[in-house]
Amino acid sequence: MPDSRVALLRGINVGGKNKLPMRDLAAMFEDAGCGNVRTFIQSGNVVFTAGAKVSASLGAVIASKIEEQFGHRVPVILRTAQQLREVVSNNPFPDSPDNLHVMFLADRPSAAKISALDPNRSAPDEFIVRGGEIYLHLPNGAAEMMGVSAFRVEPY
């Protein structure tokens, strides 16, 4: 029985770059054997149903089709509806929903890679790696994480 799933594509239709029409993206998923395919705005996020057999190679199939048709090398991150529910229930920062961001990883990092991360690098920001996600608690907001100048819009 097919499960509800989501595909998260990084860097699609951002700032006029990596343009990919959602109609074409949806067709790629349908051609790959997915059902009930729906895209979300112009973000490159796709909700669909698919069984385990189709999903096993789906990320690589879609990434290859995008590169072939549009010339973009785009990571395709897949999660089931159950995995998304687990992301919510595993939230290590439940008291700070307005300052929480979740990064979805293509692969689970090794324990050695996780331990090599410096938890004090950007205080007061915090992170916790759980499975294939990184939970970020950013009390000053995302702009402060990278430095305000990285997100400042300057007038012409």
> What's the pLDDT at 154?
31
Given a cut of 60, whether residue 151 has pLDDT beyond it is: no
- Looking at the fold, whether 116 and 68 belong to one and the same domain comes out as no
User: Domain total for the chain?
Assistant: 2
- Looking at the fold, whether 108 and 56 belong to one and the same domain comes out as no
State the average pLDDT over residues 77-94. Answer: 94
- Looking at the fold, whether 20 and 51 belong to one and the same domain comes out as yes
Is 112 domain-assigned? yes
- Looking at the fold, whether 74 and 100 belong to one and the same domain comes out as no
**Could you tell me the pTM of the whole model?**
0.82
Given a cut of 60, whether residue 65 has pLDDT beyond it is: yes
Alpha-carbon distance of 66 to 60, in angstroms, equals: 10
Per residue in 100-147, pLDDT tens?
Answer: 999 999 889 999 999 999 988 888 999 999 999 999 999 888 765 444
Residue 145 Cα distances to 68, 76, 102, 114, 121, angstroms = 35, 25, 14, 19, 10
> What's the pLDDT at 54?
95
Provide the domain limits for residue 58.
3-83
